[in-house]
Structures are given as C-alpha cells and as structure tokens.
Amino acid sequence: MPIAPENRARYPKDWKAISHRIRFERAEGQCECVGECGILHPGGRCDARHGEPHPVTSSKVVLTTAHRDHIPENCGDDNLFGACQRCHLRYDAAHHAMNARATRHRKQGQSDLFVGAAA
C-alpha cells in the first residue's frame, strides 16, 4: 500500500528494506494472512502470491506489508505481516473508516471528541 505523504516521516528510514524482508524472505512472496482479514482461507493461509493472479479476484497480486497495530513506527517482526491487497484492505477497513470519519469531522469543524465512537 502506498504511504500517504503526511505519514512518510513516521516510517523508519530503512522501511523499504524491512518491508522487502518481510514480504520476500519471511513470507516467501505469499500472503501471510491466516484469517486476520476476516476470511477463513482454505488450508489456513491465503494462497495469493506476489506477481500472480489473485486466486479469488484474478487481479495481479502486489504483496504489501501490513502493521497489525496500524502504527507505522512499530516495525517489529511480530507487528508486521506480508499481505495481498485484498487481505490488507480488509484488515485495515475499520481503521480506514475511523480515519475517514475523523477527516470528515475535522473538515466540518466538529470536535474529534467522539470520533472513535460508533456513528
């Protein structure tokens, strides 16, 4: 997933090397999701492989590196996993919705007091 310009400074200088190691050395080019995205994958682990058609969507897989806690500064191996676009987007969906809600509130001049609460 591309890094938003406003978050670039939050990633370590060696992020590209960290991400590459997670995706291609540890994950060996295959999505490491074992259901974190909310889908039970046959065989336990997502079958999507970098550069190949996705087994479900048929789109070309670009393996990404996901943060389990959504905190870019936390780049420990236990907080990162290689993920296909489908699993990464599903895993991040609630986090993205919360950020979008906060942005809408901010643009409307509303307080962020209740942004984390159910809308």
pLDDT digits (tens, 9 = 90+) for 54-78: 999 999 999 999 999 999 999 999 9
Report percent pLDDT > 90 for the chain: 67
Residue 118 has pLDDT above 60, yes or no: no
Taking the model in full, what pTM does it have?
Answer: 0.79
Closest to 7 (Cα-Cα) out of 73, 69, 54: 73
CB 91 within 8 A of CB 64: no
State residue 119's pLDDT score.
Answer: 46
pLDDT, tens only, 11-23 = 999 999 999 999 9
